Amino acid sequence: MLACLLASAGLGFRFTGLLLPGLSLLLLAAAAVIGRSTARPRLYAGASAFLLMTLFSELGILLSYALAAKAGPLWDGALAHADRRLGFDWPAVFLASDHSPVLLWIGAVAYHSLPLQMIVCIVALSGTARFRTLGITISAAILSGFATILLSGLMPAMGNVFDPARFSHLWPSVAWMERGMIAGLRDGSWRTLDLTQLWGIVTFPSYHATLPIILAWGQRDIPRLRILAPLWAGLTILATPLFGGHYGVDVLVGMGLAPLALAITSSPAWHRLGELALPSVSGKPAPATSTALGWTALPPRAHRRHDPATSRTESVRLVPHPADEPSYPTRKRANGGE
């Protein structure tokens, strides 16, 4: 938030469409509060993850606009030169793609499904109580996202654009559609931002190459998704140059950011930062159930449950998935059994 405010200072941005994003944040925050107060760790973890990603999306995009408005000379020449050195022949790729309309549709669906991929990942991880994996995944997504935004501010570019009018089946890439907005941000003519119509304008590195890998990593232990997620991530990355207007070097560097972000957010040092950021009521660090996000997956709270078949009342604790949190306490009954 502070970085966004500092970067936007003096630019004269005007904001419209505040109602829908604000309402979404309020609903997600309410769901997280309900999940925590009613001891529903899956609801709490899922709502918190959605809340954090929504906040990141709004603030991150605004930050990217502010940095683009203050950015220096464009790096398109250097990025295109790097692509040629790496052997990328984009005119040939565009021409071959134009002759494969079915593959183009598959790539378009994959590229534009990135928000859906995030939703599936959060629902799957929170629904199966893989709280630690969810924390690492969301932390890595946010950390790498801010890294791509800051790098794009240092190395601004219009993107690997092509004129869709020259082709029969290729349609405009995101970079082609945003070139007027980027030019307006740079010359000061674009200053009204509709918060319901925000688009990411990051060229180097490509976040569409980073995020699918992180999401696929998060779903690596979930049946069915462990195969589907990496396949869909691969399609998304392959489609990124065409539909996002990215250079090859954008994609390669974006892919490299994913394991780096996961390594950082999986480290003990990052976990300790999360514990320090979430002290308990007594002022001590958060319990061992805290995730890399800095929020906990709720210390298990006991529920009284009566079984009419046996006439016994037992105390049940909700626990994360055993494969994800092997040290987490297991269920215990009131009679002392395991």
Question: 37 CB contacts (<8 Å, ≥6 apart)?
Answer: none
Q: Are 241 and 160 in contact (CB under 8 A)?
A: yes
Is the pLDDT confidence value at 133 over 60?
Answer: yes
Q: Are 41 and 320 in contact (CB under 8 A)?
A: yes
Per-residue pLDDT tens for 64-88? 988 988 889 999 999 999 999 999 9
Q: What percent of the chain has pLDDT over 70?
A: 78
How many whole angstroms from its chain centre is CA 231?
18
Identify the pLDDT of residue 17.
83
Identify the pLDDT of residue 6.
61
Lowest mean pLDDT among 77-81, 141-145, 163-167, 249-253: 163-167
Per-residue pLDDT tens for 100-115? 999 999 999 999 999 9
Secondary structure element (H or E) that encloses residue 330, with its range: none
Identify the pLDDT of residue 279.
43
Per-residue pLDDT tens for 242-259? 999 999 999 999 999 999
Most confident option among 180-189, 278-287, 317-326 = 180-189
- Residue 156's pLDDT band, with cuts at 50, 70 and 90, is very high
Identify the pLDDT of residue 151.
95
